[in-house]
């Protein structure tokens, strides 16, 4: 069976087409500047990569171009070969704790939850409606970023604010990156041969979140009402004193939305270092004795370690710590800094094993009290697997 994973942004469309018999990617593509002049796409297949500029005034046209190219490039012989389509949907509120087959009612719910994710859910709906128009007979599945975290207990998802903010307006911790956390949870259970695990999953990329998982279910997670909360990230601040917001509003003559935009897009590694949001650039600057870069990376690592330590206590110990996403999978120095700071918990690093990028490997020593693994994430495959299980 062939399953397609779709991730639609406000001006973009990403896809991966899987052969679910082998779980191999047949083709993948990225359609950029949708609805903006000078739009173009890139498609990878059979080791080749093509790039072409084509006007795509909306997502419907982008999907039409995508499907036309799949046939024109002989990736598939006909659209009948596509058995199902899974859509990444950022926000499912607290209504959806699992993936669901898409119906008109589901689409309306996704629209309704746009208040929680105004930049993402409307774009997700555009992708769903474009595929629905092009492939009306194909079943589609919504895979929610928030779903995995809906097993949190009330004590963890409620904020210490007036309770009516929750009952009237839905103010609570939702958590994000759930598809990645679910994939890593499933993968590490397969690797260690059991679901009876206390795991701390560290999704550390340009965005970052950490989750505490027990027996396959999320107990707690760092991202909150929005993806701005939690650990320091590439351009996001993570947790800060909220009183900073009105203070900067007054000092800089900004409104609340403008300050939040700065906290989302100009803070984190980028804001603190004044150099870059990319860990590789920060490391290069450290090698050139840039003192601000050193402080920035140290701050970044400490925010991650603080949450790992907190979740270690909350879980009453841990069997495994998983490091994933762009930084977690590839940044050897950052992984070393994280694990070295956990030495007081009896967690020790095998530096030779840690010299790895983008592949599954245990990087802790044999006598480490907690196993530490690098596990590459694959959200697209997780979307495809969820889709396959539901359409069957």
Instruction: Using alpha carbons only, give the angle 147, 181, 223 rounded to the nearest 5 degrees.
Output: 70
283: which 2 tokens?
A: 């490391």
249: which 2 tokens?
A: 């509003």
CA atoms within 13 A on the CB side of 377: 27
373 and 262: one domain?
Answer: yes
Let me know if 319 is a catalytic residue: no
339 and 202: one domain?
Answer: yes
In a domain, 178, yes or no: no
Q: How many domains does the chain divide into?
A: 2
Given 144, 176, 205, the domain boundary residue is: 144
Strand partners, 3: 18, 84
In a domain, 73, yes or no: yes
In a domain, 296, yes or no: yes
12 and 117: one domain?
Answer: yes
Q: What is the DSSP letter of 227?
A: T
Catalytic annotation, pick one of 109, 145, 278, 319: 145
Domain of residue 133, CATH code:
3.30.420.40
CB contact at 8 A, 209 and 239: no
235 and 373: one domain?
Answer: yes
In a domain, 180, yes or no: no
23 and 93: one domain?
Answer: yes
Q: How far apart are CA 220 and CA 218, in angstroms?
A: 6
Strand partners, 38: none
In a domain, 160, yes or no: no
Domain span at 207: 192-379
In a domain, 292, yes or no: yes
Given 81, 115, 144, the domain boundary residue is: 144
CB contact at 8 A, 323 and 361: no
In a domain, 15, yes or no: yes
327 and 270: one domain?
Answer: yes
* Direct distance between the N- and C-terminal alpha carbons of the chain, in angstroms, rounded to an integer: 10
CB contact at 8 A, 112 and 57: no
In a domain, 197, yes or no: yes
251 and 117: one domain?
Answer: no
Quickly list DSSP for 40-56.
EEEEEETTEEEEEE---
323 and 263: one domain?
Answer: yes
Task: Specify the length of the chain in residues.
Answer: 392
40: which 2 tokens?
A: 């173009």
Q: How far apart are CA 16 and CA 106, in angstroms?
A: 23
7 and 136: one domain?
Answer: yes
150: which 2 tokens?
A: 């809906």
Given 144, 161, 183, the domain boundary residue is: 144
pLDDT tens, the chain, 392 aa long: 999 999 998 788 999 999 999 999 999 999 999 989 999 999 999 999 999 999 999 999 999 999 999 999 999 999 999 999 999 999 999 999 999 999 999 999 999 998 888 878 998 999 999 999 999 999 999 999 999 999 999 999 999 999 999 999 999 999 999 999 999 999 999 999 999 999 999 999 999 999 999 999 999 999 999 999 999 999 999 999 999 999 999 999 999 999 999 999 999 999 999 999 999 999 999 999 999 999 999 999 999 999 999 999 999 999 999 999 999 999 999 999 999 999 999 999 999 999 999 999 999 999 999 999 999 999 999 999 999 999 98
Give alpha helix (H) positions in 23-177. Answer: 59-72, 104-112, 121-134, 154-157, 163-169
Q: What is the DSSP letter of 98?
A: S
121 and 230: one domain?
Answer: no
102 and 231: one domain?
Answer: no
Widest CA span of the chain, in angstroms? 61
126 and 234: one domain?
Answer: no
CB contact at 8 A, 200 and 318: yes
């Amino acid at each position: 069976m062939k399953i397609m994973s779709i991730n639609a942004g406000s001006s973009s469309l990403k896809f991966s087409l899987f052969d679910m018999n082998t779980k191999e990617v047949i083709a993948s593509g990225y359609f950029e500047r949708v609805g903006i002049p000078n739009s173009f796409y890139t498609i990878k297949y059979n080791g080749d990569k093509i790039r072409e500029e084509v006007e795509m005034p909306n997502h419907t046209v982008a999907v039409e171009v995508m499907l036309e190219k799949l046939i024109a490039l002989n990736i598939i012989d006909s659209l009948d070969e596509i058995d199902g389509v899974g859509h990444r949907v950022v926000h499912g509120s607290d209504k959806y704790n699992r993936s669901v087959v898409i119906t008109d009612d589901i689409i309306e719910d996704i629209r309704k939850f746009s208040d929680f994710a105004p930049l993402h859910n409307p774009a997700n709906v555009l992708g769903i409606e474009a595929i629905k128009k092009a492939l009306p007979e194909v079943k589609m599945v919504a895979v929610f970023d928030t779903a995995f975290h809906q097993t949190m207990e009330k004590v963890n998802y409620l904020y210490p604010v007036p309770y009516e903010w929750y009952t009237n307006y839905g103010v609570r911790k939702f958590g994000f990156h759930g598809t990645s956390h679910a994939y890593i949870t499933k993968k590490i259970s397969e690797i260690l041969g059991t679901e009876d695990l206390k795991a701390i999953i560290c999704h550390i990329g340009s965005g970052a979140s950490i989750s505490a998982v027990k027996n396959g279910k999320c107990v707690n997670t760092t991202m909150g009402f929005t993806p701005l909360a939690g650990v320091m990230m590439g351009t996001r601040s993570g947790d800060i004193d909220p009183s900073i917001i009105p203070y900067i509003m007054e000092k800089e003559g900004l409104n609340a939305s403008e300050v939040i935009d700065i906290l989302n897009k100009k803070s984190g590694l980028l804001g603190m270092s004044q150099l870059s949001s990319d860990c590789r650039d920060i490391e290069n600057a450290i090698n050139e004795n840039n003192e601000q870069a050193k402080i920035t990376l140290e701050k970044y690592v400490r925010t991650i370690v603080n949450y790992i330590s907190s979740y270690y206590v909350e879980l009453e110990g841990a069997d495994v710590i998983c490091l994933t996403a762009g930084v977690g999978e590839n940044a050897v120095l950052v992984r070393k800094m994280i694990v070295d700071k956990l030495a007081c918990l009896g967690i020790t690093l095998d530096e030779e094993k840690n010299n790895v990028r983008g592949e599954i490997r245990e990087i802790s020593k044999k006598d480490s009290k907690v196993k530490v693994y690098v596990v590459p994430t694959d959200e697209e495959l997780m979307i495809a697997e969820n889709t396959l299980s539901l359409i069957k």
